[in-house]
Amino acid sequence: MNVIFHPKYLEHKQLGTHPESPDRVVSVFSRLEDEELVGDIIVPETVKREVLETTHGDGYLSVLEKNFGQYIDGGDTYLDEGTYEIAKLAVGGALEGVRRAVKGERTMALLRPPGHHAGKDYGGGFCYLNNAAIASNVIDVNRVAIIDLDAHHGNGTSDIFYSDPNVLYVSAHHHGIYPGTGEALAVGEGPGEGYNVNIPFRTGRGDSSLELAWHEVIEPILLQYDPKLIIVSFGTDGHYTDMMTGLTYSSQCYIRMAERIIRIAEDICDGAVSFMLEGGYHLRSISEIVAGMIGSEYEKEISLEYTKVSDKKQNGKEEVFETKQAMEKYWELS
Ligand SMILES: [Zn+2]
């Protein structure tokens, strides 16, 4: 599994002390180096405006192009003079990932800035352009499944595809925190009804609950949807060390999920799967998770520091049941 990365991603900085800092990817690279897991680094190219226009509105793009020197949301997501150019390079990284995925090459794109909170006409939550959504719209593939493992609901991605059956959006997230969306009953609308799947976990849910969601909801829906490409919005902020959310996943939980997704991609879509970084703010946990998932591709065991499992009893089964109830109208769920 090679890494997609542009050195300019390190130049993207929010104002002041901010959790979404370049240190995140610096730390990941340093761990990959320690583990001798840095293979070929694929440096993506930038994209033209028309690529962005597949997904974002003209007015919003003009704001990103010209109105720098201000926050684009309440005060979390600052638009600096160079932000737009770097955000376009992140989109380029996402495109590179899906283009390689459909040829059977797996990659982890260490993108900054992240993308899943950016909608058609808005940004926020440290996101400007929706990397995964643009990649889904540009790649010439009939059915794309986006699995969002970031602990925040990817409201941008969800909104963009809410009435689109050609993209299945699945998110397991901590419900009740930013951005506040992602109810089980938000199932999509019009032709997209049934193609928006939310598992809204309450505080403290962890490994066994996510595994339950995988077996009861995510895996059966994926098998029936039969995507030709899987994109993983890979955020590690559901880890118990991560102070941004209240979920309690362990490092091995994330690594196992990545392995499961790779296996199912091999079974149903010739291994076409592309991983893209979203959130994840605890430097040591994000680093060992990424090293662990890349290591597992090479059958190299990584020694993990953060392996505590606090949810062993499927504490989130009520939430998984809620999702099943919302979804069984559209999918066969046992
Ligand atoms: Zn997040």
Which residues face 206 on adjacent strands? 248
CA 223, distance to chain mean position in Å, is 20
Give the separation between CA 327 and CA 225, rounded to whole angstroms.
Answer: 13
Separation in Å, CA 285 to CA 229, 249, 322: 28, 11, 30
Domain ranges within the chain, ordered by starting residue? 2-327
Residue 334 is predicted with a pLDDT of 86
pLDDT of residue 113: 98
Q: Which long-range contacts (CB under 8 A, 24 or more apart) does 322-325 make?
A: 322/184, 322/200, 323/184, 323/197, 323/198, 323/199, 323/200, 323/213, 323/217, 324/216, 324/217, 325/184
Cα of 334 from ligand 1 centre, angstroms: 30
**Structure token pair of residue 61:** 């793009």
DSSP label at residue 218:
I
80 CA to centre of ligand 1 in angstroms: 21
Calculate how far, in angstroms, residue 150's C-alpha sits from the geometric centre of ligand 1. Answer: 5
Q: What 3-state DSSP class applies to 239?
A: strand
Catalytic-residue membership of 117 = yes
pLDDT at 39: 86
Phi, psi of 115, deg, nearest 5: -135, -20
Say which residue the tokens 């939430």 belong to: 319
d(CA 202, ligand 1 centre) in Å: 15
Structure tokens at 49: 């405006």
Q: Which of 12, 117, 175, 282 is catalytic?
A: 117
pLDDT of 171: 98
Superfamily of domain 2-327: Histone deacetylase domain (3.40.800.20)
Strands (E), 114-166: 144-148
Q: What is the pLDDT of residue 147?
A: 98
Inter-axis angle of helices 58-66 and 83-101, nearest 10 = 130
When computed from its CA atoms, the radius of gyration of the chain, rounded to whole angstroms, is: 18
User: Each residue's pLDDT tens digit in the chain (334 positions)?
Assistant: 999 999 999 999 999 999 999 999 999 999 999 999 998 899 999 999 999 999 999 999 999 999 999 999 989 999 999 999 999 999 999 999 999 999 999 999 999 999 999 999 999 999 999 999 999 999 999 999 999 999 999 999 999 999 999 999 999 999 999 999 999 999 999 999 999 999 999 999 999 999 999 999 999 999 999 999 999 999 999 999 999 999 999 999 999 999 999 999 999 999 999 999 999 999 999 999 999 999 999 999 999 999 999 999 999 999 999 999 999 999 999 8
Q: Of 274, 284, 312, 324, give the one whose Cα is nearest residue 96.
A: 274
pLDDT at residue 205, as a whole number: 98
Phi, psi of 64, rounded to the nearest 5 degrees: -60, -35
Measured in Å, residue 20 CA sits from the centre of ligand 1 at: 10
